[in-house]
Structures are given as C-alpha cells and as structure tokens.
Amino acid sequence: MPKITYIENNGTEHQVDLPMGATIMEGAIQNDVKGIIAECGGSCMCATCHIYIDEQFLDLLPEMEEEENEMLEAANAPRQNNSRLGCQVRVSKAMDGIIVRVPEKQ
C-alpha cells in the first residue's frame, strides 16, 4: 500500500498506508488528521478537504476536473498552484511517499 504523509498546520505528521483507490480525504478522516473536515463526505461540494500537495509530487496526480477547480475558488485558505481537494485525489501506486499539507483553515 502506498504511504502518504499528512502534515497538519501545526506541524504534526501522520504517516499512513492507504489502499489503492482510496482518496486522500478518506485517509485523513480515517486516521484523525486534524484540519480535514470533509463536510460533504467526498462529493466535491464544499472545499473542506482542501490540501496542498508538495510540489515534487504534482505530476503524479490526475488532472484537475472543472468541478474541483471551481470548488477550490471557494476555499477558505489561499489557493496555491499545488492546491487540490483531497476527495478528488485517489491513491495510486505511483503516489507512494507523497506529502500532503493541511492548510490553516478550511
């Protein structure tokens, strides 16, 4: 299983093994990563699973769909070039070692 490192805004790290096909958001919720709220349960309707993917891993992610792009415009934390919604990023074997940072607010 790919290992994902979540870094909370306060610096707390969680290294989690996630099954392939799970989303970054699901892994955060199931492993008590603080700062990922996921109000809509993963249906790309709220932007409360906004995350920052470390730059060196961006090429491993699927392209952002229009719906995710629009939701990120409504995110409470500043949108950056490495912003994604955790509910829209499914874990693949290639993502082993990926680092995900949680913004200060959702």
pLDDT in tens, 45-74: 999 999 999 999 999 998 999 999 999 999
Report d(CA 32, CA 62) in Å as an integer: 25
Query: What stretches of 8-98 adopt beta strand conformation (E)?
Result: 13-17, 50-53, 83-85
The number of domains in the chain is 1
The answer as to whether 26 is a domain residue is yes
pLDDT at position 21 is 95
Domain containing 38: what range? 3-101
**Residue 96 amino acid letter:** D
Query: Model pTM?
Result: 0.95
CATH number, position 88: 3.10.20.30
**Contact by Cβ (8 Å): 103, 84:** no
Over the stretch 22-42, which tens digit does the pLDDT of each residue have? 999 999 999 999 999 999 999
